[in-house]
Chain A
Amino acid sequence: MVRADFDRSLEELQGDLVGLGEMVEKAILKSMDAFERRDLTGAYEVITEDDQINEKRFELEEKCIDLIATQQPLAVDLRTLLAVLHIAVELERMGDYAEGIGKICMIIGDDESVPTPLQLPRMAEKGVAMLRGSLKSLVERDKDLANDVWDSDDEVDSLYDEVCHQIFLDMGENPKVIEASTHFLWVAHDLERIADRATNIAERVIFMVTGKVGRYTPPNKVDGV
């Protein structure tokens, strides 16, 4: 088969990217677990393990550059490599947000006097689901699934607005929680950005599949079909 070697390289690259996504997912889940349980050991691990995510991102970039330089990709191959380059950066930044949550855990310490707002674990859950969906849409070249991920961002944004509103109310009512609540705001911000990055990945998948930037618009269906 013509270009079988190049096709194998592209498959390997996609496998590496999904592997990076799994590392990031694990980091997000672990950081939130550490945050909710005030587990400083877990938080410290998330911080130190971020280096592996960074290394993997640069490794992927290097492979992309090698393939662009040596294989002269065109059309969907070119879009795929450009998408992988972008997505690797998005994933690495998501890892940084997980690391950020780990750092906040270290600042808060084991103080459980101020309860964690309920919206935060829900935001994390949705963000991770969006991450999984975005990578699934990449593997399956599924622009409709990428659209679904894109749409899910509104839910995370709503939760973010809700949690911020509640935190501000709490701060106003009880000045003793201001310090802890400020940290909660930062966690909320990190989680909101994680969902935004997953949306960016979905956007790149749509570009990869359709060649167009922006949300995928399905062609009008004929009535009755």
Chain B
Amino acid sequence: MDLDVARHRITSIIGPSGCGKSTLLRCFNRMNDLIPSARVEGQVLFDGLDLYGHDVDPTEIRYEIGMVFQRPNPFPKSIYDNVAFGPRINGFQGDIDEIVEKSLVRAALWDEVKDRLKSSALSLSGGQQQRLCIARALAVEPRVILMDEPCSALDPIATLAIEELMRELSEDYSIIIVTHNMQQAARVSHYTAFLMVEETRVGFLVEFGESRQLFTNPEDERTEAYITGRFG
């Protein structure tokens, strides 16, 4: 597969279950390294740097390329401590209060939590928890944010709030999102990659392009079949 992820744009990865969407996403910040049987072929270039090069520290990469997961997973700590966690373990010496506020503002959560920063993060609603996780990811100032089904545990209104936030964040960050929800990919992303699985091979790229093009006039008939629900 050969795929260009555009800077300061949202790229969606869609495809049927088991086609390797999440595996592909996890390639971008070497999360697959944590799977013992994983092996690597090819290159993932980030501003020209091969992320799988011998001298590359995966932990460093994860500061640059943050991740938000399917279920909101705040630490059982206060709202403040959740956001401050990354900078603290990073040895950040500056004004932590400022970073916490800035990150919560950017994640569109500040107004809702500014008067209860010391409350438990677990007291927040699901949608708020997910925005807190986004704030936590932003606190270490990444350049790329990976999102693995970030709205699948949220109700429709919280989902739309996250989608709106993603559009705002895309002005300053590059975002890659894996979603089962094709409508979400269409609504939110600038570019979409469609992956497929067959009996003999898994996780191959069928089509990649601008979302408006892919969802109105796809080039490949397999993409057409998938997005119109005539697949399989």
Interface flags, B49-81, vs A, CB<8A=1, else 0: 000000000000000000000000000000000
Give the Cβ gap from B34 to chain A, nearest Cβ, in Å: 35
For residue A4, which residues in chain B have a CB less than 8 angstroms away from its CB? 164
**Chain A contacts with B in 57-76, Cβ cutoff 8 A:** 65-66, 69-72
**Chain B contacts with A in 12-57, Cβ cutoff 8 A:** none
Query: By the criterion CB–CB under 8 Å, are B215 and A69 in contact?
Result: yes
User: In the complex, A3 Cα to B163 Cα: how many Å?
Assistant: 8
Give the Cβ gap from A9 to chain B, nearest Cβ, in Å: 11
**Chain A contacts with B in 62-110, Cβ cutoff 8 A:** 65-66, 69-72
A225 proximal to B (CB < 8 A): no
B154 proximal to A (CB < 8 A): no
A1 proximal to B (CB < 8 A): yes
B187 proximal to A (CB < 8 A): yes
Q: B164: which of A5, A69, A70, A71 is its contact (CB, 8 Å)?
A: A5
B202 proximal to A (CB < 8 A): no
A169 proximal to B (CB < 8 A): no
A118 proximal to B (CB < 8 A): no
Query: By the criterion CB–CB under 8 Å, are A3 and B164 in contact?
Result: yes
- With both beta carbons as reference points, the residue of chain B lying nearest to A3 in the complex is identified as B160
Interface flags, B207-232, vs A, CB<8A=1, else 0: 00001100110000000000000000
15 contacts between A and B (CB under 8 A): A2-B157, A2-B160, A5-B164, A6-B187, A65-B216, A66-B216, A69-B186, A69-B215, A70-B187, A70-B212, A70-B216, A71-B187, A72-B183, A72-B186, A72-B187
Residue ranges of B at the interface with A (Cβ–Cβ < 8 Å): 157, 160-161, 164, 167, 183, 186-187, 211-212, 215-216
- Extra inter-chain contacts (10) besides given A66-B216, A72-B183, CB under 8 Å: A2-B160, A2-B164, A3-B164, A66-B212, A69-B186, A69-B212, A69-B215, A70-B216, A71-B186, A72-B187
